[in-house]
């Protein structure tokens, strides 16, 4: 049996740990796929060479709780409409 481990495998776990560590220190975070889609901009700003691959981007900073966009709450369907629990008795 042949097993292939990709170099990108631990990226999610590393990002998760970084986000949790930042929040534990009071920093806000945003995991941002746009950094990958706009990699020329990110490369220039962060001085990342072309021979390196950008797997994810995480913005870090002090959150502004008064900023209008931070008060937006999205409308969502009730959880009962999209979830079914099997094997859990009430």
- Whether 58 has a pLDDT exceeding 80, the answer reads yes
Distances (CA, A) of 88 to 78, 82, 84, 85: 19, 16, 10, 6
Contact of 55 with 11, CB cutoff 8 Å: yes
Average pLDDT over residues 49-60: 85
Q: Which of 5-9, 13-17, 85-89 has the lowest mean pLDDT?
A: 5-9
| pTM higher than 0.75 | no
Spans of all domains in the chain? 11-63
- Whether 77 has a pLDDT exceeding 80, the answer reads yes
| C-alpha R_g of the chain | 19
pLDDT at 1: 57
């Amino acid at each position: 049996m042949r097993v292939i481990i990709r170099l990108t495998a631990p990226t999610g776990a590393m990002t998760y740990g970084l986000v949790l560590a930042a929040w534990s220190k009071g920093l806000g975070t945003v995991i941002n796929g746009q950094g990958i889609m706009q990699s020329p901009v990110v490369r220039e700003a962060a001085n990342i060479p072309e021979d390196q691959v950008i797997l994810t981007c995480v913005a870090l900073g002090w959150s502004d709780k008064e900023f209008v966009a931070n008060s937006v709450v999205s409308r969502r369907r009730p959880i009962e409409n999209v979830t079914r629990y099997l094997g859990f008795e009430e």
